[in-house]
A and B are shown apart, each in its own frame.
Chain A
Amino acid sequence: MAADEEELSINEQAISASEDEEGSDDERKHKKLLEAISSMGSRKRKKQNERSEASVQVSEFFVNAEGTGEKVNLSDLLGTVEKTSGASNKTKKQLRNLQSSKETLELPLNKQQTEKIQRGIAYEKTAAEVSCWRNIILQNQKAEQMVFPLNQESPGPKRVEQVVAGWKVQTPLEQEIFRLLHINSQPVDDPVLTPVEEQSLKAMSLEEAKIRRAELQKARALQSYYEAKAKREKKIKSKKYHKVQRKAKCKDFLKQFDEMVKTNPEGALEELKKMELSRMEERMSLKHQNSGKWAKSKAIMAKYDDSARKAMQEQLQMNKDLTQKIVVPSDDEHESNEEGLETIPDFVNDSEPVIDSVNPWMRGQLTHEEPEVSCVTTEDVQTAEEENEEEELVGEFERKRKLRQADEEDLIPTEEEQPASEVVEEDVVEVSDKEEEDDDDDDEEEEEEDVSEFNTLFRLMRSEKTLEEDEEGLLNEGQIRVRNIEDLEVLGEFVDPQPIAEPSLPRTAAVEATSEPPYKKKREIDLKEVLTKEAKAVKVPFLPTVVDEEERDEQISIIKEAFAGDDVISDFIKDKSKLEAAGRPEVVDLTLPGWGEWGGVGLKPSRWKRKRFRIKTAPPPPRQDQKLPDVIISENRNASVASHQVSQLPFPFQNTAQFESSIRTPIGPTWNTQSVVKNMTKPKVITKMGAIIEPMVKEDFIKNKTTTPGGKGPAIMLGENKRAKEGTKRSSEKHRGRRSQKRRK
């Protein structure tokens, strides 16, 4: 179509042109016309094919100039330039220089090389192009968190200006409207109110707010009251209550229904329909048909039990009532319904007590409550007694305390001061206690004898090995009678056992011990220090009066068993030395007797050989308990934890200390505040569900260069939008301007 139009226009032009220059072209036109006429009349003639001979000079293959074989000089071609005056001197000079120079041009580079160079240049170019991505990529790598898609708009409601900012005037109608607005100088998208103002506007006045709050409060309170009431009522288990409640409801309903019949017959009809529906349901269901488990059991009972029979009949009656068709809505029917409903719970309740009286086991209540009650009463009595006691005690308290401070023997008097009812018991206890004490003392004596036996044994063993001084402390403690009967009675002056112990040291043993070679001296000293460290005695306000005899006996027997004539320390030392020995590396002996020298019975391999072929491995690191004489620490590695440990140093770290310090802070909520946990465990990448993550465009990061890579910049976006909007406006103005111009035209 366009082409046709063009043609047309051309023709028109032609015509118009011809009109312009009418006179000059007249003859030519005439000629044309004549020719056209002549051609129309005759038939189409055959074109005569003319044959012409090839000239001698013209080659079949190429065009020959006149001076064939002659070289064309530059001067031939540019000779005219010299003569023309228009050409500048400079070019002339250059041409002359060219003419004079004899050097030939260099050969063009071969294909490979040119390509190589091109590739090099292309590489540089593309590298420069791509390198602008480098920063953003680095930034993204470093970023703690990336949110995709990158340029997300902030969620939530937007201000009107923001929404308007993206919108363009498109249709003429809109344009018209806008123009009108402008003429009337109405604001279009300049924010009328700042966000602060908006907020202040949003906030209500104080009184208004108060009123509103009060209203809300009231509503809430009412609601809560109602809820509480409903809950309370729901929880009530009394059937009677519910019965009454139901009756009241029914009455209410009836009243309403009566009123409804008068005022709102349609509503009444609907109610009737509802009733009909309930009847239908009743007909459909097996309720009140005496076919349930309960009904069956009742049927069996009915033979002998009047009430059961009655209950069954009631049920059937109810069924009948419910299934009876309602012809005329009347009060009677409702009442009968009510009665039917009422009957159920009563009868359900009543049936059981008959059985109860016969069989006490079937009672729902627990029988053991009564004794508890009695218990409580006795307790009450006791508490009352105790209170009395307390009062008395409070009265005497001060005196007692003084007595105690003055003399620690006052235990017995305090007990005597207690009320008479208890005193009797106490006395009995006292007597028994005393007996026990005596027994106990005997026991203690026995025990101490045993201990001394141990000690003598121990001493004998020790004296062979150790210095006596170390031993003294250890041994003597056993012999000290810490407390005997007299001590028990006279508690006030408590004497530290150790000072007593020291004088009773057997010196003879010491002398014996010195004669023996010292063995493991150092350790012994340490141990002694550890075990016989100065123990400070503690003053106690009261003394134990009751000592469990059985327990003591038991323990003593156990001790006897355990010690079995040996002592603890030497055992421990043995244990430790054994372990130490096991930990030492073994010397591997590779000497071959008789190899390279004479061998046989009584012949030892030479010293050199032994030295040469006995291989010693490096000693293990010192034991952890090396400096702790009374401790054995196992040197085994805890392999079970090792499987959970990091075994290889992760990448950026250069030593373990760095890595360990980097994981030293726990991230769990047990040790941190909630915000910290959230911050520490935030995911590296967040993607929006359902959003398409498109590859990054150059514009994205060029825009965002000033902002963070996270893509947070609504403000800037807005600015850009504004700018863009302005641009569009300007362009639209221009358009409009042109159009208006045209119109004016």
Chain B
Amino acid sequence: MSAVMPELLTSTHVEKMKKKKPPKRYWEETENTDQSQRRPEEEEGKAGQNQNESTVKERPLKRKNDERLEKKDPFPGEAPIPHKQLQKFQRGEKCKVPAGARRRLKEAITSSEAMSEHAQKQAARYDLLLPEDAGFLEGDEDEDTNTISQDDIADAVDITSGSKYFSLHLSQFGPYRLDYSRTGRHLLVGGKKGHVACIDWQTKDLMCEMNVMETVNDVKWLHTEAMFAVAQKRWLYIYDSKGVELHCVKKFNDVLRMQFLPYHFLLATASATGFLQYLDVSVGKEVAAICTKMGRLDVMAQNPHNAVIHLGHPNGTISLWSPNQKEPLVKMLCHRGAVRSLTVDKTGTYMVTSGLDRKLKVYDIRAFKPLHSCFLPAGASCLSLSQRGLLSAATGDIVQVYQNILGSSPVSKPYMAHRLRGQIWGLAYCPFEDVLGIGHGEGFTSMIVPGAGEPNFDALDTNPFRSYEQRQEWEVKALLEKVQPELIGLHPEQLSKVDQASFEQRHKEQVEALGFDPLAKVKFKPKTKKKGRSSAGAIEKRKRKVAHEDQRDEIRQSVQERTEREKELKEKSNEKKLGNKSTLDRFRK
């Protein structure tokens, strides 16, 4: 039986398979021919033994083929990222694993470090997708750029850019305030004598125009170009883009200036009565009303970095406010005269102020230290900083634009200047455009300022080219990501820090916030019982039973402790005594 088996086995398909030639590969043409040339001799004699040999031989051949297929990569690995870009996206400092750390700690730190490094690298890699750069005006030799007129610039640039220099002659309704929407597409102008209009200024499409028949103090777009707020003589009104009055907010009266905090959906208003009020436009609720006790508030700016509101006062001080505190976060003495205007840089690093003392001062608002100051002959009534850090100052009927003013050294002459026909009332740079909007007594002028706007926009945040549906989608997302007003403070990074206040302090704050002490003991209230057992005396007795319970507990505990201690001492002394005792000691007296 056993002799028959091998023969049979050879006939099974497994064996066949092994015998079978490996399938022909298209790249093996040459090799195979070699093999076939070599093979016949070997195969003729001993087929059975050949199997193993051939397989052994084939393997190295295959490997060779693979090597030949893989060309050597001249640039192995990922493309290196420039150090500068990496540094741009560095967040905080790396944390090293301390020596002798436990396993879990090690894992936690290493994984989080790896993750943040990965994120940083990816962000740096994608930074290459922001290729746009800003250009500036350059004069010929011994030619000041500030002598180049707007007409010249408009002639020199392309037609589309040239069309951005225009003016609206609106001499009837007095000096104009203005505001650009966050995407920079829409312009809102409000004349002192009640004329309000919103325009898609690039296409020059008029969205709405009306006269509110009242003094208009300020105008402001809300989160989208579908709504805007107008501070009128008495109350604050909210209109939609077609000019339909949506709300008349009577809680906000005598508003002089407004600021909109886009990520918090808060409209901050400063009134003539000295009130700083916050209106949550997403729910229509007044978040905070703070009496500043500083008199008329007609100078206002926001810090885009931390959503803190800056107010300028007639006594030369500037105060910083958040809706969470009834007193100013910071109060700075900046000018000897009243503060006329102020503005804060996009990154929240610099603040520029101008006062009645005709000085223009640049502050490092993080350290609250003045960097430099310069003297303007007529003083600046309006200030505005562009996204790229160009400062425009309005002196009377002239707008001056300064370059590099945020550096440490003061500037000696303006970068550009432009004369207008009336007193300037409002200044604002158009986001993502090289355009400065000027509201003045004779209407509105849009002026070209090369290098003012940020050339790269974040399409998910503020997309100048967004469609109606994109705007709707953005609105929903923005509402979902709305930052609560409680998070406004001088240091927004505080949220990522561990709160190291003591328990007592936290408890105190909790009590303040709640209005009662959640940990306080409830006062004993005796039940009312029937059948005459709730007489005054009985109640008093029952009260007596539980009176001073905690005090009693304390006493009981202390007594117990003391007895225990005594007991221990006694035992110890006993032991000591026992050490010397003899058996006969018991008979001692």
Contacts and interface: CB of A to CB of B under 8 A. Distances in A.
B is a partner of A = yes
Interface of A: 142, 144, 178-179, 181-182, 185, 187-188, 190-194, 197, 200, 390, 393-394, 397, 401, 404-405, 474, 477-478, 482-483, 494, 496-497, 527, 530-531, 533-548, 551, 555, 558-559, 561-563, 568-569, 571-572, 575, 625, 628, 630-634, 636-649, 651-654, 656-666, 669-673, 675-676, 679-680, 726, 729-730, 733, 736-737, 740-741
Contacts of A726: 14
A658 B95 contact: yes
A536 B410 contact: yes
B338 A562 contact: yes
Interface in B307-344: 313-317, 322, 324-325, 327-334, 336-338, 340
B314 to A, nearest CB: 4
Interface in B402-427: 410-414, 417, 419, 421-423
9 contacts: A188-B13, A537-B377, A640-B486, A645-B498, A651-B104, A652-B104, A662-B95, A665-B115, A675-B122
Top-7 shortest CB links A-B: A544-B396, A562-B314, A661-B95, A182-B13, A665-B116, A640-B486, A645-B499
Contacts of A680: 115, 119
Contact of A670 (B111, B317, B327, B460): B460
Interface in B357-397: 357-360, 368-370, 372-378, 395-397
Contacts of A656: 497-498, 500
Contacts of B146: 541
B119 to A, nearest CB: 5
Given A187-B20, A474-B336, A544-B378, A641 B147 contact: no
Contact of B423 (A144, A551, A628, A733): A551
Given A200-B26, A543-B377, A652-B108, A572 B338 contact: no
Interface stretch (B37-45, B487-495, B534-542): B487-495
A540 B398 contact: yes
A632 B373 contact: no
Contacts of B377: 482-483, 494, 537-538, 540, 543
A536 B370 contact: no
A458 to B, nearest CB: 10
B16 interface: yes
A200 B113 CA distance: 43
B321 to A, nearest CB: 10
A568 B296 contact: no
B400 A661 contact: no
B534 to A, nearest CB: 44
A641 B375 contact: no
Task: Identify which of B16, B120, B331, B413 gathers the most chain A CB atoms within 10 Å of its CB.
Answer: B331
Contacts of B143: 401
B102 interface: yes
Contacts of B460: 669-670
Given A181-B13, A200-B26, A656-B500, A647 B494 contact: no
Contacts of A673: 119, 122-123, 125-126
Given A190-B17, A568-B336, A660 B423 contact: no
A544 B398 contact: yes
Contacts of A178: 13
A466 B498 CA distance: 45
A393 B152 CA distance: 10
Nearest to B152: A397
Interface stretch (B1-9, B181-189, B242-250, B546-554): B1-9
B338 A644 contact: no
Interface stretch (B214-222, B466-474, B501-509): B501-509
Nearest to B461: A670
Nearest to A548: B423
A142 to B, nearest CB: 7
A740 B8 contact: yes
Contact of A733 (B1, B12, B501): B12
B513 interface: yes
A652 B105 contact: yes
B417 A661 contact: no
B107 interface: yes
A474 B335 CA distance: 11
B30 to A, nearest CB: 17
Interface of B: 1, 4-5, 8-9, 11-14, 16-17, 20, 23, 25-26, 91-95, 98, 101-102, 104-105, 107-109, 111-113, 115-116, 118-120, 122-123, 125-126, 143-144, 146-147, 149, 151-152, 155, 295-296, 313-317, 322, 324-325, 327-334, 336-338, 340, 356-360, 368-370, 372-378, 395-398, 400, 410-414, 417, 419, 421-423, 441, 460-461, 486-487, 489, 494-501, 505-506, 509, 512-513
B327 A538 contact: no
Given A641-B489, A641-B495, A536 B375 contact: yes
B15 to A, nearest CB: 9
Contact of A394 (B155, B423, B441, B497): B155
Given A187-B20, A662-B112, A665-B119, A644 B495 contact: yes
B184 to A, nearest CB: 19
B298 to A, nearest CB: 9
Contact of B414 (A185, A482, A540): A540
Given A182-B12, A200-B26, A540-B377, A649 B358 contact: no
Given A563-B314, A630-B334, A661-B109, 18 more contacts: A401-B147, A496-B375, A497-B375, A536-B372, A538-B414, A540-B400, A559-B356, A562-B314, A632-B330, A637-B509, A646-B498, A647-B498, A662-B112, A664-B496, A673-B122, A676-B122, A680-B119, A741-B8
Contacts of A540: 376-377, 395, 398, 400, 413-414, 417
A540 B396 CA distance: 12
A634 B315 contact: no
Nearest to A544: B396
Nearest to A429: B421
Contacts of B358: 482
A664 B116 contact: yes
Contacts of B500: 656
Nearest to A530: B370
Nearest to B314: A562
A394 B152 CA distance: 8
Nearest to A497: B375
A661 B119 CA distance: 14
Task: Identify which of B94, B95, B374 gathers the most chain A CB atoms within 10 Å of its CB.
Answer: B95
Nearest to B496: A663
B505 A637 contact: yes
A653 B23 contact: no
Contact of B496 (A193, A630, A660): A660
Nearest to A545: B397
A261 B317 CA distance: 96
Task: Identify which of A535, A559, A654, A679 gathers the most chain B CB atoms within 10 Å of its CB.
Answer: A535
Given A397-B152, A637-B501, A542 B373 contact: no
Contacts of A657: 95
Contacts of B122: 672-673, 675-676
B422 A546 contact: yes
Contacts of A405: 144, 147
A733 B314 CA distance: 104
Nearest to B323: A640
Contacts of B108: 652-653, 662
A736 B498 contact: no
Contacts of B316: 568
A741 B92 contact: no
A547 B423 contact: yes
Contacts of B98: 654, 658
A497 B374 CA distance: 12
Contacts of B120: 665
Contact of B498 (A571, A660, A729, A741): A660
B324 A640 contact: yes
A638 B26 contact: no
A404 B147 contact: yes
A440 B356 CA distance: 15
